Amino acid sequence: MGKGADDTDGTDGHETNNPAVKREDLASRKGPSSGDVSALGLFLIFTRIGLTSFGGGLSGWFLREFVQDRQWLTEEEFLDGLALSQALPGVNVKNLAIWIGYRLLGWRGAVAGFCGIVFPPAVTIVLLGVFFSAIAYLPLTHIALAGAAAAAIGLSLSMAITAARRLPRRLFPYLVLIATFAAAALFRVSLVWTVLIAGALSVGYEYLRSPPQQQQ
C-alpha cells in the first residue's frame, strides 16, 4: 500500500506527522536568514537604540528589538548573552551588543554592535552635555531627567522580571538570587567578589546536579 496523507513531507500542502520533518521546519524558521542581517544594518539598529533609549535600560530595548520584534534570537539565547555580558568586566551594554552582533554575524557583527552602541551616543552625549550645562538651572530640565530615569527603571525592572522567569523551579537558584541582591544592594559587598562567589556556587550546583555523562 502507498503512503497515506499523514506521511507526506509537507510539500503537497498536507500536515506532516514526521517529527524529523517538523524539527527541520522549525529549525528553518529560527533566526534571521542570511539576507536579513548585514553589518551596516546591525550598526544602524544599535545606533538607533543608543540614540533613542533615553534614561538607560538598554538591555530591555535589546530584548524588544532582537527577540520580540525581529525574532532573531530566542529569549533563552538572549538571557544567556545577558548573563555572560554581566559576568564579564566592562560596560554590560557594550558587552551585550558585542555578543548579539557576534551571534548574528560573527566578528563583523561584533564590530558593528560595538561601534553602533558606543560611538554615535558618545558624540551625542558630548553635544548634549554642552547644551544641558547651559540650561541646567531651569526646573524643567530636572523634571525631564527625572522622567527619563523613571522610564529607565521601569525597563530595567521589566528585564529583571523576564530573566527571573527563566530561573529553574528549584530553591537553590532563588537563594542565590536573594543572596546576590542582599550582598550587592544591602551590604555593599564588592561586585567582583559577589559575581565570583555567586557564579561559582551556581555553576558548581548545576554541575553536581547534571547526569554523569554530561560532566565528562
The reply to whether 192 and 98 lie within a common domain is no
The reply to whether 57 and 119 lie within a common domain is yes
Of the candidates 124, 147, 164, which is a domain's last residue?
164
Domain of residue 128, residue span: 36-164
The reply to whether 147 and 189 lie within a common domain is no
The reply to whether 118 and 150 lie within a common domain is yes
The percentage of residues in the chain with a pLDDT greater than 90, rounded to a whole number, is 44
Query: Nearest-CA neighbor of 100 among 125, 117, 121, 119?
Result: 117
Q: Is residue 176 part of a domain?
A: yes
Q: Is residue 62 part of a domain?
A: yes
Based on C-alpha coordinates, what's the Rg of the chain?
22
The reply to whether 127 and 180 lie within a common domain is no
Which residue blocks in the chain are alpha helix, DSSP H? 19-29, 39-52, 58-62, 75-87, 92-135, 139-164, 171-181, 191-209, 212-215
**How far separated are the first and last CA of the chain, in Å rounded?**
47
The reply to whether 125 and 204 lie within a common domain is no
Q: Is the pLDDT of residue 107 over 80?
A: yes
The reply to whether 148 and 208 lie within a common domain is no
pTM assigned to the model? 0.66
The reply to whether 43 and 75 lie within a common domain is yes
- pLDDT, mean of residues 169-187: 92
Q: Is residue 174 part of a domain?
A: yes
Q: Is the pLDDT of residue 108 over 80?
A: yes
b/e for 57-81, b at 16 or more Cβ within 10 A? bbbbbbbebbbeeeebbeeebbbeb
Q: Is residue 183 part of a domain?
A: yes
The angle, 0 to 180 degrees and rounded to 10, between the axes of the packed helices 171-181 and 191-209 is: 180
Q: Place 23 in a pLDDT band, splitting at 50, 70 and 90.
A: very low
Q: Is residue 42 part of a domain?
A: yes
Q: What's the structural domain count of the chain? A: 2
The reply to whether 190 and 144 lie within a common domain is no
Select the highest-mean-pLDDT range: 72-86, 100-114, 115-129, 161-175: 100-114
Q: Is residue 41 part of a domain?
A: yes
The reply to whether 172 and 67 lie within a common domain is no
Higher pLDDT among residues 131 and 21, named by residue: 131
Q: Is residue 206 part of a domain?
A: yes
The reply to whether 135 and 177 lie within a common domain is no
**Which tens digits make up the pLDDT trace of 110-144?**
999 999 999 998 999 899 888 888 888 888 888 88
Residues in the chain: 216
The reply to whether 158 and 185 lie within a common domain is no
Q: Count how many Cα atoms sit within 13 Å of the Cα of residue 124 in the half-sphere of its side chain.
A: 14
CA distances from 148 to 23, 56, 101, 142, 212 (A): 44, 8, 27, 10, 50
Q: Is residue 24 part of a domain?
A: no
Residue 146: phi and psi, rounded to 5, are: -65, -40
Higher pLDDT among residues 105 and 17, named by residue: 105
